[in-house]
Chains A and B, each alone.
Chain A
Amino acid sequence: MKQHGDVILAYSIMIGLIILVGFLQSWSIALSILCFCLISAVMTMGANIQWGYAGLINFGIMGYTALGGLAAVLVSVPPVKEAWQAGGILMLLCVLIIISMVLGVRFILKKYQKSKKRNYGVAFVIIVGLIFLRLISGPAIESIEAVNPATTGFLGGMGLPILFSWIVGAFFAGGLAYIIGKIALGLRADYLAIATLLISEIVIAVIKHEDWLARGVKNVIGLNRPVPYEIDLQAKQWFINLVEKFNQGTLNLVTDTLEREQLLKQLVIEGSTVFVKLCYAGLFTIVVIILLIITQKALYSPWGRMMRAIRDNEEAADAMGKNVVKQHLLIFVLGSAVVGIAGAMMVTYDGLFTPGSYRPMRYTFLIWVMVIVGGSGNNFGSILGGFAVWFLWIEAAPASLYLINLFTSGLEETNALKIHLINSIPYFRLLVMGIALLLVMRYRPKGILPEKIKHI
Chain B
Amino acid sequence: MIQKLEDLFWVDDMDFINAIVLLLNYIFVPALSYGSQLALGAIFVSLIYGILRFAYFTAGDLMSFGTMFTILFTWHFQSLGINLGILPTALLAIPFGVIITILYVLIKDKLVFSYYRMKKSPPVMLAMVSIGTMFVTQAIVRIIIGPFDRRFFDGEKFILKANEFKEMTGLNEGLTIKSTQVITLLVTIIVVSILFWFLNKTKTGKSMRAYSDNEDLALLSGIDPKRVVMITWVIAAILATIGGTLYGLDKSFKPFTYFNNMLPIFAAAIVGGIGNPFGAFLGGYVIAFSEILLTYAYRKFFVYVLPENLEPDSLLQLLSTDYKFAVSFSILVVVLLFRPSGIFKGKII
Residue positions of A touching B, CB distance < 8 A: 57, 183-184, 187-191, 193-195, 197-199, 201-202, 205-206, 208-209, 361, 365, 368-369, 372, 421, 423-424, 427-431, 433-435, 437-438, 441-442, 445
Residues of A within 8 A of B115 (CB): 442
CB of B124 closer than 8 Å to a CB of A: yes
> CA–CA, A198 to B57, complex, Å?
13
Contact A209 B323 (CB under 8 A): yes
Q: With A427-B142, A430-B135, A431-B139 as given contacts, are A441 and B125 in contact (CB-CB < 8 Å)? A: yes
Complex Cα–Cα for A368 and B131 (A): 9
A424 with B143: CB separation less than 8 A: yes
The stretch that binds A, out of B178-186, B231-239, B331-339, is B331-339
Q: Which residue of A lies closest to B54 (CB)?
A: A190
Residues of B within 8 A of A (CB): 54-55, 112, 115, 122-125, 127-129, 131-140, 142-143, 146-147, 259, 263, 266-267, 270, 320, 322-323, 325-326, 328-330, 332-333, 336-337, 340, 349
| Cβ-defined contact, A365 with B134, below 8 A | yes
Cross-chain contact B147 with A427 (CB below 8 angstroms) = yes
Given contacts A199-B329, A202-B329, contact A441 B128 (CB under 8 A): yes
Residues of B within 8 A of A205 (CB): 322-323, 325-326
**A216, chain B: closest CB distance, angstroms:** 9
Can you list 20 A-B contacts with CB-CB less than 8 angstroms, sorted by A residue number?
Answer: A191-B340, A191-B349, A193-B127, A194-B55, A198-B263, A198-B267, A361-B138, A365-B134, A365-B135, A369-B132, A421-B143, A424-B142, A427-B138, A427-B147, A430-B139, A430-B142, A431-B140, A435-B136, A437-B132, A441-B129
A190 and B349 contact, CB distance less than 8 A: yes
Report how far A368 CA is from B122 CA in the complex, Å. Answer: 17
Complex CA–CA separation, A57 to B129 (angstroms)? 14
Would you call A438 and B112 a contact (CB within 8 A)?
A: yes
Partner of A427, one of B112, B143, B322: B143
What secondary structure prevails in chain B residues at the interface with A? helix
A191 and B340 CA atoms in complex are apart in Å by 9
Chain B residues positioned under 8 Å from A199 (CB to CB): 329, 333
When distances are taken between beta carbons in the complex, the residues of chain A under 8 Å from B143 are 421, 424, 427-428, 431
With A188-B349, A198-B333, A205-B326 already in contact, the answer to whether A438 and B263 are too (CB < 8 A) is no
Q: A365-B135, A431-B140 are in contact. Are A201 and B128 (CB under 8 A)?
A: no
Q: How far is the CB of A250 from chain B (nearest CB, A)?
A: 42
* A434-B136, A437-B132 known; A202+B349 contact, CB < 8 A: no
Question: For residue A57, which residues in chain B have a CB less than 8 angstroms away from its CB?
Answer: 124
For residue A425, which residue of chain B has the nearest CB?
A: B143
Given A190-B124, A365-B135, A424-B143, CB of A195 within 8 Å of CB of B349: no
What CA separation (Å) do A57 and B57 show in the bound complex?
Answer: 14
A372–B139 CA distance with the chains assembled, in angstroms: 20
Bound-state CA distance A85–B134 (Å) is 49
Nearest residue (CB) in A for B126 is: A190
> In the complex, how many angstroms separate the beta carbon of B266 from the nearest chain A beta carbon?
5
- Give complex CA distance A437, B134 in Å: 11
B273 to chain A: closest CB distance in Å? 12
Closest residue of chain B to A130, judged by CB?
Answer: B318
- What is the CA–CA distance of A206 and B325 in the complex, to the nearest angstrom? 11
CA distance A24 to B111 in the complex (A): 37
Interface contact B336-A191, CB-CB below 8 Å: yes
In the assembled complex, the CB of B157 is this many whole angstroms from the nearest CB of chain A, namely 31
Query: Which residues of A lie under 8 Å from residue B263 when comparing CB positions?
Result: 197-198, 201
Task: Pick from B129, B134, B333: contact of A183, CB below 8 A.
Answer: B333
Instruction: Report the Cα distance A16→B238, complex, angstroms.
Output: 48
Residues in A neighbouring B270, C-beta threshold 8 A? 191, 194
Extra contacts, 20 of them, besides A193-B127, A198-B329, A421-B143 (Cβ < 8 A), are: A57-B124, A183-B336, A191-B270, A191-B336, A191-B349, A194-B270, A198-B333, A201-B263, A201-B325, A201-B329, A202-B326, A209-B320, A365-B131, A368-B128, A368-B131, A427-B139, A427-B142, A427-B147, A434-B135, A442-B115
Known contacts: A198-B329, A431-B143. The answer to whether A361 contacts B259 by CB under 8 A is: yes
Query: Smallest CB-CB separation from A439: which chain B residue?
Result: B132
For the complex, give the distance between the alpha carbons of A199 and B138 in Å: 23
When C-beta atoms are compared, the residue in chain A nearest to B53 turns out to be: A190
Contact A372 B128 (CB under 8 A): yes
Residues of B within 8 A of A441 (CB): 125, 128-129, 132
Closest CB of chain B to A116's CB: distance in Å? 12
Instruction: Report the separation of the CA atoms of residues A319 and B266 in the bound assembly, to the nearest whole angstrom.
Output: 35
- State the Cβ distance, B258 to closest chain A Cβ, in Å: 13
Nearest chain A CB to B339 CB, angstrom units: 12
Residue from B132, B137, B138, B323 with most neighbouring chain A CB atoms (10 Å): B132
The 9 A-B residue pairs with the shortest CB-CB distance in the complex, in nearest-first order: A434-B135, A431-B139, A434-B136, A430-B139, A198-B329, A427-B142, A437-B132, A209-B322, A438-B132
Contact A187 B340, CB 8 Å, known A205-B326, A361-B259, A424-B146: yes
Give, as a whole number of angstroms, the nearest-CB distance from B227 to chain A: 25
Write out the residue numbers on chain A whose beta carbons fall within 8 Å of the beta carbon of B140: 431
Q: Which residues of B contact A424 (CB under 8 A)?
A: 142-143, 146
Set of chain B residues within 8 Å of A209, measured between Cβ atoms: 320, 322-323
CA distance A190 to B123 in the complex (A): 8
- Cα A428 to Cα B141 in complex, Å, equals 11
B-side contacts of A368, CB under 8 Å: 128, 131
Q: Which residues of A have CB within 8 Å of B325?
A: 201-202, 205
Is B349 touching A437 in the complex (CB atoms < 8 A)?
A: no
Contact residues in B for A188 (Cβ distance below 8 Å)? 349
CA distance A17 to B267 in the complex (A): 42
Q: Are B133 and A434 in contact (CB under 8 A)?
A: yes
Instruction: Give the nearest-CB partner of A200 in chain B.
Output: B329
Whether A194 contacts B266 in the complex (CB less than 8 A), given A205-B323, A442-B115, comes out as yes
> Measured between alpha carbons, how far is A271 from B324 in the docked complex, in Å?
48
| Chain A residue with the shortest CB-CB distance to B338 | A119
* Structural contact, A195 and B134, CB atoms closer than 8 A: no
Q: How far is the CB of B24 from chain A (nearest CB, A)?
A: 28
Chain A nearest Cβ from B183, distance in angstroms = 30
Chain A residues within an 8 Å CB radius of B136: 430-431, 434-435, 438
Q: Is the CB of B336 within 8 A of A208?
A: no
- A77 and B188 CA atoms in complex are apart in Å by 52
- Name A421's closest neighbour in chain B (CB-CB): B143
Give Cα A197 to B337, complex, Å: 16
